[in-house]
Structure 1
Amino acid sequence: MDTWLAYCLTKPGAWQDEPWEGDVVAKVGDKIFAFLGDDSLGLKCGRDREEADELIRIHPDDVESSPYIGRYGWNSVKFGGTIPDDEIRELIDQSYDAIVAKLPKSKRPMR
């Protein structure tokens, strides 16, 4: 998890938070773009469930819909499995970009 947290925190305006005891997240502005677990990341992987399901079709053993927020395009992505690290970095980038795009312009970080 530390490697992925460190990568998340390299993003402009990114910061670590623990909104629920023991649950580490990466935020930009006041919005979460990554949930960091012991063996997986919760990431925004599509605008909706249909788009996010494409990643599940590609990596059925290492990606599943996130509980509670999956219907909004969030997936749980296992690390240490078959998904290459560069692809996980790309998924983090996409999740970050999707969340930044939803922030009001005044709260978007400078790039």
Structure 2
Amino acid sequence: MTLDELIVYCAGKPGAEETYPWGEAELVCKVGGKAFAFIGLDAHTVGLKCGADAEAASVWRERFPGDVTVSGYVGRYGWNTISLKGSVPDDDLLELVDGSYEAVVARLPKGRRPAV
């Protein structure tokens, strides 16, 4: 999957918005004001919520060692960083994006959830 395809997919989620809180090198896709994808534009990576905590997210790191790593600062909360140039198949990457989005939406107050 290319970086552009990933951005289009994330931005196409209901209620998704694109933000650049740390400059032009990282795009953060949010829903209801909460991040569901941290896209490293220079590094060609994406940070996604892959489980309830680091242990649950470790399944993906074990499946794709080197291409899926613990995300800095938020890894203990189940966030992993995935290399777009690595061995993770597109179907798995899309599953991870969907799961991250759904996990964030589920935690939003009902009034801030997007209409689907």
Q: TM bucket by the smaller chain? A: over 0.9
The answer on 1:35 being equivalent to 2:38 is: yes
When the two structures are superposed, what TM-score results if normalisation uses the length of structure 1?
0.96
Match of 1:3 among 5, 26, 47: 5
**How far apart, in 1, do the equivalents of 2:66 and 2:77 lie?**
21
The aligned counterpart of 1:101 is 106
The aligned counterpart of 1:62 is 67
When the two structures are superposed, what TM-score results if normalisation uses the length of structure 2?
0.92
Alignment RMSD: 0.8
CA deviation after TM superposition for structure 1 residue 80, in Å: 2.1
Structure 1 runs not aligned, ≥5 long:
none
Structure 2 runs not aligned, ≥5 long:
none
**How far apart, in 1, do the equivalents of 2:10 and 2:73 lie?**
22
The aligned counterpart of 2:88 is 83
Specify the code of the residue in structure 1 equivalent to 2:79.
W
Match of 1:21 among 4, 20, 23: 23
